[in-house]
Structure 1
């Protein structure tokens, strides 16, 4: 039995040990693995963070989070003991991000986050879902003040779809006074006005954030900007996919980069759906010894601005990118104010109707070559204040791009910018900075122009005589018109080409674009093999405005149609030939052009319709033009700011037009000679034989026979020439059955109206002359006969 002395000694020993030992209530610093969830070490994220704040860490800490939805928000700040070695990781226990959801609905600016990082360092998040379920305040991650060594990996960050550009509705919003080593890898970032907005520093003193990595992330359904980055140093933005919301803002951008310095890398990204800029880069500076690299990107926009806006940057290497603009915007806009040391090589710039390239100020554009420029618009490019109609013009204006091409890259689709044109396959120059393509395939010694590397058989440009014959054979025969066009688009032209078309009826339509290698000497001729137009019929029945033609010319030049019969069989849409955008040196000769008889004045039911934005040397010769609301409608330019040069309409028979035989507008020096115009017997009460408006220079309207107009036989207004080179209207026979005037002549200058025979069988007047705005006109040796 223990005596009193022994008991006292034991109690004393216990008290002594207690006094000299750490107090039991002081917990140990965290280190190692812990669990969050029901039955785990912590029930919630908030409890775990309380543990971190209270105890600090003494080694790396990993929180494995059990499956479930955690309706809470968390605030992470400085943690005692954390370091680049002693990191703190929150991760899904299952490894599946969709199994762990951290969700919060913000009520105002103050709680607008699911995760707030403030003065935080050394945190890693893996395989988690962060869901902001608010409407006005929808940030998933908010970072501020000072941030270092923060990583999100394989997470899902969901912000609601919005129609607002407000940053309060952004997804990931980081605006730090100073930061470094912020990384987002392999995440899915869905919704929000912004996908990621990251301002690395406040920019004071020229400071920049180091170590930013944005790699292999999927951005989708952002309304305003997929990615916005500023005040960074040597950032790495690689292999991300950005697909903006289909109904994104009219000012939406794919990737927006401002004031990022050093050996910045923007490579392997796929950008889709921007309404303003696919890529916007400004005031980004590097050095000659350590330049930035923008390479192997696919950049699409549906913009009204530019797919790539590139301004005031220094020592940027823009290599092997594929650009596609499906709206009315331009491919590349370069402004060199404040720029230096930039190089642009091995890129594809494709635009729908705008410039493929626009260099507003060439300062700092040290090298530009081995690019491919393509547009369906009027001008290929713009250098300073001058437009370039084609590649030769561009090379002459810029003194650059000596080895560049003008070829359709043949993208898989508007948004899948994988190119396939054989013309580009071996047309680039080797660049050591880009040894692989966007898919990781090695570049060839003579690489492909653009982001994706491929090989193709050597092109054989067309030259000489070919046949079009459904029953023909051999490598110089094509079984359809379309097949011949495809061959020219693919291979280009190496000389003058003639397609001799076998007798028969071909039910198809063709659209002829700008053809590589075409010129005034390298023309393309389609002609009947027999020389008889009636033997070859090309026919098509259009049912829509966009396909309202049998043969269409879109930026086409140097084409001849000879001895063919073109038949439009549509009722609402009846055009045989259409010329759009730019049109130069096009000839229709000895053809029959048939449009259905109509009782409509609709422009869509016209027969031959030339409506280019600019044009020169369009000719219709010795052809028969039957039916349509208008026989020939020739507008030399889009809006009258320029004039179509060299137009000629000669020795044609125009019959059975309902509204107007010819309409001629915005021309200079045109010659309309020896044509016969016989309008439909039941033509419109406002029908005209020949209608001429705002045509300039030494215009010639001679030897024409006009019959059957119900309003004006000849209508001429606002046509101007000079005293030294007057226009001539002579030797014409002009009949009308009008209730107006056989000849309406108003506001014209220096027109010589000589030796014309006028007959009005209705109640109208022979000649109506109005001199308001007129000058220098002469009217001599004419016959003016009127009925009543």
Structure 2
């Protein structure tokens, strides 16, 4: 009897269950359902038999909702949740999670054919639990459209706005994420699979991502389409892992660390993306920037992308474009530009047989153009070197891309207008404008160059109010867009030119087509007071091969803590002739206060002839591993600099005919190979400490013409504390015909380590004080030492290790050196001539 009653009750229950269909209201006055959960419970109980819409009335709903598989859903029976008003801001659905088990607002657990649109979701609370949509196994045909999402912040590690993490046998199919706004989360969209069968048919399109640590990251999501999204103020924009056949196109990306990263994901199509990365990373490699990367992702295509990065770290690990391993890469019609200190392109474990790469604009600002290899890399400083050495990019260019704004990356350079090649896959640009079918433009935007910008500059232009250009910034901007077809001469007339200037590689400039910035008439005011490292320059030569002359300019840096005048990076050919360079006086060795600061640079030629006043180092150069050569410093005057010339890793510099007045260290050269030549200079050093010439670990060649040479210099040191005329260690140099007078307690010559390869001949080493004329710190001296006048008014002429020698006879006998040296007072005049017969 009881069993029969239960069967009857069950039959009645089934017969009374009426599937939902049509439109229902949630919340507000006299709704169909008071809460979202009430509506979902009814769906679970009754199912649907047609399209079912839930219109949620204006208000805030503090709810946590789980939607399982609903009976009756299909492509003709779709369940939708939306705001009744159609205004996305009118309905807010929120929840404050307290543990990992309730870290969601909406959980789809096997649900199918569900649509959420025009709703705002907000994760509340103060913990790092801020997931909004949590998608589970069996979920399919989900559309999340036109919503707003707010989580807890980019640094909250478990705040993934849309989250799905599947194991090997689980699946999610047909997921559409369209036209939503994402803000303040660790991940915007995070889909993680265990193999290539977990996800299928995923579309992420036309969304806005703001303030995420990682906007989109996908693992094992094949054939995904990521298109038309705007990603702003995020650390990383898009990363796909083990996700083949992705389509990533028409995205506008403005991030801090990384743009698009393709990892072990073959057959990716990446085109018409605007990628701007500023290097101000929140996490990871601070200061570094990476634009577009294919990491072991072969058979991939990159077309019509505009990439701009500007890292803030002094490193080779930043790049606009990178290929790391794998084969069959097709790379055409892209702009790859790095305005920072790294490289435009970085290759590792690839060669020209692994790619078809051409019709690109490859541009670098302060770094080097292309780096191939990680350990002992090959550096290509110019496009022509890359074309001949690597064998690709025959039709590519290396020009300033001329971006109108930053962002977006609209270019207006005539040098890339019509310079691309037809790509059948891509028929329109990022905005949907048709591509030219024969000569499209390079980059993500198709454009027509302004006819006013198509005639290059050549000749002389006057700068100043009422002249050819009102100010120097306008002239430089015009030059970068128009380029040159001959030498260009900018003459500065009276006016206020206060400020700082970035000087990039000018299209078509060369060693025969220099750009000259020179004094016209009057007294143009070229001063600047920097307040940070970022603006610490008057002129910043950005590399990528710049050909600039600076003639007869009076330049003054007035910053208290930052007082550089020239900041020189990259691959450069420049001249500074006449005029003067001035900064505040300092008594410290401080790189932020160097007048000419050269680092991360490959110098082809540097011709310097000017007057330096104050500052830390008048000229500081940290060369590119002794490959930088062509440095010629001649007839300069160095006044009151802490260090006059400060060189590290510079090959064969030429320093001649200069005058040094009261510098702590007139010349320092460390680990400078080749035939450094210090000839005909005059050093007058009063008070203070520091050696007049300091040379350490500088190795010249074996032949006479390749050895370092210190010759015909005069050095007078007065009242200097523990300072040496010359301090030469672990170096092989010819030291000849120099006149040194030390009045104080310093040595004329000091060499702590003598490796027996120096030559000292025909010099005057005179000391009027308590120190030695020649002091060798170690116990071995085998360098050639002959025909010198070695004079000392004190007790000892020379010291070798712990042994001192008071006269020439002891030196000759005990040290075994030649007997052609003399010891007589040279009777120097004020200008270091000698009257001694």
How does the TM-score come out when normalised to structure 1?
0.85
Secondary structure at 2:100 match in 1: coil
Show the 5 A alignment for 1:258-657: 258-262=241-245, 264-275=246-257, 277-286=258-267, 292-302=269-279, 303=281, 304-327=288-311, 328=313, 330-362=318-350, 365-384=354-373, 385-445=377-437, 446-458=439-451, 459-460=453-454, 462=456, 464-470=458-464, 477-495=468-486, 497-499=487-489, 501=491, 504=494, 507-508=497-498, 510-527=501-518, 537=524, 539-544=526-531, 546-555=534-543, 557=545, 559=547, 561=549, 563-568=551-556, 570=558, 572=560, 577-589=565-577, 591-595=578-582, 598=585, 600-601=587-588, 603=590, 608-620=595-607, 623-629=609-615, 632-637=618-623, 641-654=625-638, 656-657=639-640
Rounded to whole Å, the distance in 1 between the matches of 2:391 and 2:15 is 79
SS at match of 1:507: coil
Q: Distance in 1 between matches of 2:548 and 2:568?
A: 16
1:715 to 694, 698, 706: 694
Residues 344-353 or 311-320, more deviating: 344-353
| Residues in 1 aligned to 2:581 and 2:57: alpha-carbon distance in whole angstroms | 76
Shift of 1:358: 0.9
Q: Which moved more, 1:749-758 or 1:32-41?
A: 32-41
* 1:527–1:556 Cα change, 3 Å: farther
Listed as ranges, the matches of 1:179-328 within 5 Å are 179-199=172-192, 201-203=193-195, 206-207=196-197, 209-222=199-212, 224-244=213-233, 252-262=235-245, 264-275=246-257, 277-286=258-267, 292-302=269-279, 303=281, 304-327=288-311, 328=313
Shift of the 110–82 alpha-carbon distance from structure 1 to 2, 3 Å rule, reads same
* 2:59 is the alignment partner of 1:68: yes
Aligned Cα root-mean-square deviation (Å): 3.2
User: Secondary structure, in 3 states, of the residue corresponding to 2:716?
Assistant: strand
Kept after mapping to 1: 8 A contact 2:191/2:219: yes
Distance 1:577 1:62 in 2: 67
Q: 1:450 to 1:779 in 2, by over 3 A?
A: same
Paired with 1:426 and 1:490, the residues of 2 have a C-alpha distance of 15
Q: Does the 8 Å contact 1:185/1:216 carry over to 2?
A: yes
Aligned pair partner of 1:143 in 132, 135, 142: 135
- The corresponding residue for 1:41 is 32
Deviates more, 1:556-565 or 1:43-52: 556-565
Which among 682, 697, 718 is matched to residue 705 of structure 1? 682
Paired residue for 1:116? Answer: 107
Q: Distance in 1 between matches of 2:496 and 2:295?
A: 51
CA–CA distance in 2 between the matches of 1:319 and 1:34?
48
Residues 465 and 417 (structure 1), Cα distance of their counterparts in 2 relative to 1, 3 Å cut: closer
Question: How many Å apart are 1:181 and its aligned residue?
Answer: 1.0
Which residue matches 1:15? Answer: none
- Distance (whole Å) between structure 2 residues aligned to residue 772 and residue 156 of structure 1: 71
Q: 1:727, 1:752 within 8 Å by CA — same for their partners in 2?
A: yes
Q: Is the 8 A contact 1:759 1:785 kept in 2?
A: yes
- In the alignment, the residues of structure 1 paired with residue 97 and residue 495 of structure 2 have an alpha-carbon distance, to the nearest angstrom, of 69
1:557 is displaced (CA, Å) by: 4.8
The counterpart of 2:733, out of the listed 731, 734, 751, is: 751
Q: Which moved more, 1:544-553 or 1:264-273?
A: 544-553
Aligned residues of 2:137 and 2:171 also touching (Cα < 8 A):
yes
Alpha-carbon distance between aligned partners in 2 of 1:558 and 1:233, rounded to the nearest angstrom = 45
Distance 1:558 1:294 in 2: 31
The change in CA–CA distance for 1:705 and 1:455 in structure 2 (over 3 A counts) is same
1:97 to partner: Cα distance = 2.6
Say if 1:556 and 1:405 are closer, same or farther in 2 by CA, change over 3 A: closer
Structure 1 residue 178: Cα displacement: 1.0
C-alpha contact (below 8 Å) 2:364/2:544 kept by paired residues: no
Count of residue pairs the alignment pairs up? 732
Range with greater deviation from structure 2 (737-746 or 81-90) = 737-746
Aligned counterparts of 1:541 and 1:175: Cα–Cα separation in 2:
55
Q: Which residues of structure 2 form unaligned runs of 5+?
A: 1-7, 282-287, 770-837
**Residues in 2 aligned to 1:504 and 1:23: alpha-carbon distance in whole angstroms:** 96
Mapped contact 1:242–1:270 kept (Cα < 8 A)? yes
Report if the CA contact (8 A) 2:699-2:732 is conserved: yes
1:103 corresponding residue in structure 2: 94
CA distance in 2, matches of 1:393, 1:77: 62
CA distance in 2, matches of 1:597, 1:54: 82
Mark the CA change 1:585 to 1:298 in structure 2 (over 3 Å): closer, same or farther. closer
Match of 1:133 in 2: 124
- Indicate the SS of the match to 1:580: strand
User: Paired residue for 2:656, among 669, 673, 676?
Assistant: 673
> Which deviates the most, 750-759 or 403-412?
403-412
Paired position in structure 2 for 1:5: none
Q: Distance in 1 between matches of 2:138 and 2:464?
A: 74
Q: Deviations over 1:324-354 (max 9, x none)?
A: 2232463344335344354443344334221
**Partner of 1:776 in structure 2?**
757
Partners in 2 of 1:556 and 1:228 — Cα distance? 34
Distance 1:116 1:625 in 2: 72
Distance in 1 (CA, whole Å) between partners of 2:716 and 2:215 is 66
Q: Distance in 1 between matches of 2:253 and 2:100?
A: 31
CA distance in 1, matches of 2:190, 2:262: 15
Q: Which residue of 1 aligns with 2:830?
A: none
Q: CA deviation at 1:502?
A: 6.7
Taking structure 1 as reference, are residues 149 and 721 closer, same or farther at Cα in structure 2, changes over 3 Å only? same
Q: Gapped runs of 5+ residues in structure 1?
A: 1-17, 246-251
Write out per-residue CA displacement over residues 485-531 of structure 1, whole angstroms, 9 at most, x where no aligned residue.
22321122323x141637656634544222222322232334556xx
1:216-263 CA-partner distances (Å, limit 9, x unpaired)? 2222222x3111223233322221122245xxxxxx42112122233x
Match of 2:834 in 1: none
Q: CA deviation at 1:280?
A: 1.5
Contact 2:465–2:471 under 8 Å retained in 1:
no
1:164 aligns with 2:156: yes
Equivalent residue of 1:644, what SS? coil
Alignment of 1:26 with 2:16, yes or no, is yes
Q: Deviations over 1:108-132 (max 9, x none)?
A: 2222222111121111222223333
How many Å apart are 1:643 and its aligned residue?
5.0
CA contact (8 A) 1:755 1:780 kept: yes
CA gap 1:368/1:757 in 2 versus in 1, 3 angstroms? same
SS at match of 1:49: helix
3-state SS in 1 of match to 2:37? helix
